[in-house]
Structure 1
Amino acid sequence: MKLQHNLGGLENLGPVNVETNVFVQPWEKRIFGIHTVMMAESTHLADALPRYPIAGLPTTFKNTWTWASLRTGAEGMQPFEYFKYRYYEKWLMGISQFFIDEGYVSADELDEKTRHFRANPQAALPDQPNPAIATQINAYLVKGDSGFHEFKEAPRFATGARVRVADPDAVDHTRLPGYLRNKEGTVDLVYPGAFSYFVSTGPDGIGHAMPVYRVAFDAADIWGKEKSEPNTTIYADLFDAYLLASD
């Protein structure tokens, strides 16, 4: 991942925020809700498990939106801008830009609405209840989605195999922690089935269904003995595309 999104092992970055509340401000709940509704209406659910009746859903939202979409928006921020904003402010920026890019709202329209509600914070929000969409959202909250598939081929690696983490070209979004690139570890578990990611990361290598492994790393092999507690193991779940046979 890009620097601002995976800081494992880096020093002198200042104090760590140890806030334990999921939502610190009331408005953050609304941002989480918007993201959840977008996922519940996402076109990818037509092929996810369980299957959802997306084609007949009475909504104007006709795009794929997953956790990957949300993370891509945040990861596209300029690094110094990224550190300036709160967690859910980054969500809001990514979601807003997505709606602008896809033509659901223009930047001028969004600015006008922003000015309106800042000047009139008690103004009523649009209310267009739709029972079918409410049913879909409730079903999604209960059942979720999954990219699970049955194996078509045996996994390349078995438990106990020594592997080396690949170093693919950097792309807009990845599920490979930067601090694990080129590190060696041992396959600790082969998860049953294969898993897709709903969106392709292109040269990064994930998208179609593939095995996922839990790989164990000696902390000292990642950060060095002088910066690691003894007898410490780091575990990471990694897609098959991110692993190579150890030399």
Structure 2
Amino acid sequence: MARVSVEYENHVAHVTLTRSDKMNALDDAMVKAIIAAGQEVAASDARAVVLSGEGPSFCAGLDVASFAAAAGRDNEAWLNARDYHDANEMQEVALVWRRVPVPVIAALKGAVYGGGLQLALGADIRIAASDTKLAIMEMKWGLIPDMGGMVLLPHLMRSDVLRQMVYTARPVSAERGADWGLVTEIHDDPLSAARALAEEIAGKSPSAIRAAKRLIDLAEHAGRQDVLLAETAEQLSLIGKADQMEVITSNMQGRKPDFK
């Protein structure tokens, strides 16, 4: 059974987790399917991505029974392997979406727990239903968040609330998640809102959008001098080029841009 579907419409990639009978929990097949979907979208001409889950929940985290069944696996070799740039397979579930060169918008609902939350953190923007529950759940199983969460979470949350969520594994509401930096926006219909936002972004200059994502990603970890130099380099790659000229022309003529 397929774990993830990928469909394209109007330059937007719609990536959907399709294991709703298990609350889209992450088994080995789901992990591989999510990474493959991210790689496919990264190589496509999509200008924005909507990431969502079928059924009542976005993703309830690891399918613990499934991974427990893999008792013969050499965990040290598996987790130490850097098969995806600087990441192992489990970390790439989230980080592949940061490697996608265009904005990724996650539509959240129901349970967004553990690995499911870390998957959502890989998105640029998270829109959640009011009944969404978010948890850094790993401590419940005697583990720590290790799917890229510790790369992503400190950029979003204050240290004290991050520590509280990690130490307790208690779920928090969408409202509290928004207060703490995990949720961008709360919406009655997060999937419709995510699609509308993706379509809006897809209508912008594709080269400028990609440059902006590269620059923001760099600014989150690089020093001042490197960021300033990158600003200049990215801007020079845009000024006077076809996409920018199309924006200028369309704005002057009051029409929608037509990017090639």
Q: RCO greater where, 1 or 2, for CA within 8 Å and sep 6 or more?
A: 1
Higher helix share: 2
TM-score (norm 1): 0.26
TM-score (norm 2): 0.25
Larger radius of gyration: 1
